[in-house]
C-alpha cells in the first residue's frame, strides 16, 4: 500500500456512492456483503462465504481497492465498514440492512476511559472481548487507543476476541481488524472472531478467523 499516490483521498462516502450506483443490478446489502467477503478472502485466503456472480467481479475488485486506500489514508482503526453499513441503511428502500451500530466517537471515549495508558502485561496478553461485535467498532477503538499509547508494537501484546450471531458482522469485524493490522503494520498477539451466541454453549460456536502473532 506504500506505493499509493499521495494525492488520492478516499473515504467511506465514495465507497457508499459506488455501491449505491451499483445497486440498480443487485441490492446494496448484497454488494456490501460481497465486498466484505472479498476483502476477507484476500486477507486470509479462505473460501468466500458469498461467492458473487461473475459479472460483479470487476466492480468488486475496484471496491476492494477503494477500501484499501481508505484504510491507508484514514486514522488507523477507523470503522469504515460500520460507516458504510449505516450510510446504506439510511437508504432503507434500497438497502434493507436493518441494523444500527454504536458510533465510533462513543467507543473511542469508552476505550480512553478503560484503556488509556494501560500497562501491557509481560506474562500474558492484554485482552478485549466484544460479545456482540457488529462492525467490530469497540475492538477497533481499543486497538486505536493501544496504538496511540504504545505504538504498533503494543498490539502484539494484545488479544482481540469477538463474537456475533450475524455472519456478515463477524466477517466485517475480521476484515477490518486484519486490514488495519496489515496496512498499518501492527499485528495482534491474537485475533479470534467467532460466529455464535455469546450466551449459549460454546460447542455451537464457529471460528471465522483465528490468527496469532508469529513470535508467540
Q: Is the pLDDT of residue 92 over 70?
A: no
What whole-number distance in Å separates Cα of residue 65 and Cα of residue 205? 32
Secondary structure (3-state) at 169: helix
Give long-range contacts, CB 8 A cutoff, 24+ apart: 41-48: 43/175, 43/178, 43/179, 43/182, 44/174, 44/178, 44/209, 46/209
The highest-level CATH class for domain 104-212 is alpha beta
Write down the pLDDT at residue 79.
96
Q: Which of these ranges, 87-96, 130-139, 183-192, 196-205, has the smallest mean pLDDT?
A: 87-96
More confident residue, 3 or 196: 196
Q: Which residues contact 165 (CB under 8 A, 6 or more apart)?
A: 132, 195, 196, 197
Q: pTM, whole model, 2 decimals?
A: 0.89
207 - beta bridge partners? 194
Arithmetic mean of pLDDT, 121-130:
92
- Assign residue 214 a region (left: φ > 0; alpha: ψ between -120 and 50; beta: otherwise): alpha
Look-up of cell digits 477507523? 78
What whole-number distance in Å separates Cα of residue 8 and Cα of residue 72? 10
pLDDT in tens, 156-196: 999 999 999 999 999 999 999 999 999 999 999 999 999 99
Of 191, 178, 189, nearest in space to 213 by CA: 189
Q: Is the pLDDT of residue 145 over 70?
A: yes
Domain with CATH 3.40.50.150 in the chain: 104-212
Write down the pLDDT at residue 114.
82
What whole-number distance in Å separates Cα of residue 53 and Cα of residue 30? 11
Amino acid at each position: 500500500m506504500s506505493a499509493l499516490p499521495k494525492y488520492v483521498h478516499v473515504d467511506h462516502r465514495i465507497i457508499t456512492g459506488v455501491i449505491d450506483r451499483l445497486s440498480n443490478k443487485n441490492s446494496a446489502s448484497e454488494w456490501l456483503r460481497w465486498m466484505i467477503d472479498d476483502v476477507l478472502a484476500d486477507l486470509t485466503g479462505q473460501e468466500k462465504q458469498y461467492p458473487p456472480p461473475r459479472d460483479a467481479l470487476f466492480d468488486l475488485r475496484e471496491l476492494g481497492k477503494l477500501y484499501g486506500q481508505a484504510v491507508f489514508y484514514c486514522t488507523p482503526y477507523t470503522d469504515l465498514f460500520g460507516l458504510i453499513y449505516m450510510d446504506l441503511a439510511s437508504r432503507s428502500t434500497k438497502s434493507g440492512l436493518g441494523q444500527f451500530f454504536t458510533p465510533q466517537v462513543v467507543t473511542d471515549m469508552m476505550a480512553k476511559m478503560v484503556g488509556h495508558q494501560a500497562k501491557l502485561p509481560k506474562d500474558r496478553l492484554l485482552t478485549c472481548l466484544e460479545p456482540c461485535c457488529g462492525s467490530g467498532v469497540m475492538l477497533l477503538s481499543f486497538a486505536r487507543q493501544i496504538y496511540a499509547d504504545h505504538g504498533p508494537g503494543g498490539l502484539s501484546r494484545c488479544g482481540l476476541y469477538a463474537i456475533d450471531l450475524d455472519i456478515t458482522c463477524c466477517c466485517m469485524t475480521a476484515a477490518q481488524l486484519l486490514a488495519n493490522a496489515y496496512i498499518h503494520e501492527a499485528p495482534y498477539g491474537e485475533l479470534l472472531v467467532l460466529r455464535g451466541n455469546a450466551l449459549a454453549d460454546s460447542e455451537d460456536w464457529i471460528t471465522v478467523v483465528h490468527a496469532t502473532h508469529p513470535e508467540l
